[in-house]
Amino acid sequence: MQVNYLIILLLSLCSLSLYPQIDRKDLEVTSNKVFYDSKNEIIYLEMDVSIIARDLNIKSNSAKIFLKNEIIEFSGEPASIEIFFPEQIKGSAENIVFNPTRNIKLLGNAILLTSELNLNSDEITYSLSTE
């Protein structure tokens, strides 16, 4: 029961704040471990985290969803992301951070590929289109 509640919270956060065009019916979230820190309002996903939708693929070793400030942090060796709409981007880094302003930060051995860019750096910040 608790796991279902946590997954619903994650789906709401992802689809409403960070990626509004995701249809919750289209979203698949998997993780080997899920737990909720009610005191700090943080959801932890650990071991083989995957978030897949029609226009979004994220894979990482772990993720933290900070419900108070609507930030999601993915960690991996590397964590990877692909977004297909409203624009196509592909990236990887040791840490990937989403925030409600639709910025993506790639931290640590960061790589970002778009139709116009091919970036490698220790830190990359990219603003998603609002189309």
User: Under DSSP, is residue 130 helix (H, G, I), strand (E, B) or coil?
Assistant: coil
2-127 homologous superfamily: Lipopolysaccharide (LPS) transport protein A like domain (2.60.450.10)
Residue position matching structure tokens 């993780």: 31
| CA gap 107, 115 in Å, rounded | 21
Residue segments in the chain with a per-residue pLDDT below the cut of 70: 1-27, 129-131
User: What pLDDT sits at residue 2?
Assistant: 43
The DSSP element (H or E) to which 60 belongs, if any, is strand 56-66
Is 9 in a helix, a strand, or coil? Answer: helix
Q: What is the pLDDT of residues 13-25, one digit of tens each?
A: 554 444 554 555 5
- The reported pLDDT for the residue numbered 95 is 96
